[in-house]
Amino acid sequence: MNLKELLQNQPRYKQDQIWQGKFDSHLNSYDQITTLSKDLREKIKDFPWLSVKPILLQKSKDGNTVKALLELSDGQTIETVLMGRVNKRETRENEFRYTICLSTQVGCPMNCAFCATGKMGFKRNLSVDELVDQYRFWQRHLAEKDGGEVDNIVLMGQGEPLLNYDNVKEALNLFIKYGKIGQSKITMSTCGVIPGMKKMIEDSDFPPVRFALSLHSAIPEIRKKLMPSHADNFFEFLIDWSKQYHAKFTSRTQFIGLEYSFLSGINDDDKNLKALIKLASKLGRVRINLIPYNDTTGIFVGSDMEILKKWQKKLMDSGFTVTIRLSQGQDIAAACGQLRNDQIS
């Protein structure tokens, strides 16, 4: 039995006490959750307080990015990343804003041509505890380090979140309820798994977190080559799905994020740009994120920054909101698509 199953039979208020305690970065064991009754404390004492164990921490040269290799109870490992950025606009004692990048699976079955995680193959889904505990791990790390707090969560680490739908949904709801992280501070990124995308629209319990789609080409044949999981009718589906998405998530902070990594000579020519403009204009409120490619395979070469800037300008001229992602942590292989647990393989 895992903690989740045990808690299912407990009244709501007891579940609240446990989760509130687990999300309190000052507490280090169930014993310290003083609100718990003795018998419940007895019942849960054998469940691990933290289900992930750090076995290696690597810091980037500038010190702003930290990658952790975490060991799970069955000996599998995953990586998770902490990114700090100075934000002088707001006044808060600690001027760093922290984003954590969480993994959702051990390995990944999607096998995108440009991504290092796919090369590891797929091992298994992460449990709710393992998802939540990546957050709790960083929460404690920051509390010890400089009293900092997690400001944003991105599900952009190893794995495909929509293939671990139920556990990801539950973890997201726990982050919002007990981690006090606003739903607009959480982003889930997907390769575009059709059944999962349909489910999140129909499911009243799926929280309105930000949604990002890894697009990488709006030309079906090119996307299929880069992302073997690309379904033949995916773009037709996406256009239709986006209408339902906007009908369900109507807030101004809700938009469809489109992520586009730049591979020189593959997806960065004018034909691809035109195709992106055409597709994006059919998707309602979108925000386009242009990502410099981080080398992982030796097969692809990233496009020049000039090309990203040119695309940004042309897309903005067409009326889109466009950002260029500032990649962090390349020197410790902690940037997008570089997570592959390679220290131990």
Q: How far apart are CA 234 and CA 18, in angstroms?
A: 42
When asked if residue 160 is in the footprint of ligand SAH (CB under 6 A), the reply is yes
Enumerate residues 262-291 that contact ligand SAH by CB under 6 A: 291
Q: How far is Cα of residue 273 from the mean position of the Cα atoms in its chain? A: 26
| 197 counts as binding ligand SAH under rule CB under 6 A | no
Beta-bridge partner residues of 80 = 68
At 287, give phi and psi (nearest 5°).
Answer: -135, 130
The pairing of beta strand 77-86 with beta strand 96-101: antiparallel
Does residue 258 interact with ligand SAH by CB under 6 A?
Answer: no
Candidates 79, 130, 149, 160; catalytic one: 79
The verdict on 125 binding ligand SAH (CB under 6 A) reads no
| Least distance in angstroms from the C-beta of 344 to ligand SAH | 20
Q: Which residue of 33, 81, 156, 256 would you call a contact of ligand SAH, by CB under 6 A?
A: 156
In the bound complex, what is the minimum distance in angstroms from residue 18's beta carbon to ligand SAH? Answer: 29
Q: Which is nearer to ligand SAH, 3 or 154 (CB)?
A: 154
- Strands 186-190 and 210-214, bridge-based pairing: parallel
Cβ proximity to ligand SAH: between 112 and 315 the closer is 112
Catalytic residue among 108, 112, 115, 336: 336
| Alpha-carbon dihedral angle through residues 20, 21, 25, 31, given to the nearest 10 degrees | 180
DSSP 185: G
Cα 41–chain centre separation: 33
CB 56 within 8 A of CB 30: no
Would you call 336 a catalytic residue per the annotation? yes
**Residue 108 among the catalytic residues:** no
Long-range contacts for 51-59 (Cβ within 8 Å, ≥24 apart)? 51/127, 51/129, 51/130, 51/133, 52/78, 52/130, 52/133, 52/134, 52/137, 54/137, 55/344, 56/343, 58/332, 58/334, 59/332
Region from 45-53, 77-85, 121-129, 186-194 binding ligand SAH, contact rule CB under 6 A: 186-194
Q: Is 252 exposed, middle or buried (0-12, 13-18, 19+ CB in 10 A)?
A: exposed
Interaction of residue 189 with ligand SAH, rule CB under 6 A = yes
Choice between 17 and 187, CB closer to ligand SAH: 187
**Contact with ligand SAH (CB under 6 A): which of 7, 115, 142, 150?**
115
Binding of ligand SAH by 190 (CB under 6 A): yes
Q: Is 242 in the site for ligand SAH (CB under 6 A)?
A: no
Segment contacting ligand SAH (CB under 6 A): 3-11, 185-193, 235-243, 270-278?
Answer: 185-193
Site for ligand SAH in 302-341 (CB under 6 A): 336-337
Sole binder of ligand SAH in the list 127, 164, 214, 242 (CB under 6 A): 214
Question: Residue 116, Cα to own-chain centre: how many angstroms?
Answer: 16
**Active-site residues: which are they?**
79, 336
- By CB under 6 A, name the binding residues for ligand SAH: 110, 112, 114-115, 156, 160, 189-191, 214, 259, 261, 291, 293-294, 296, 336-337
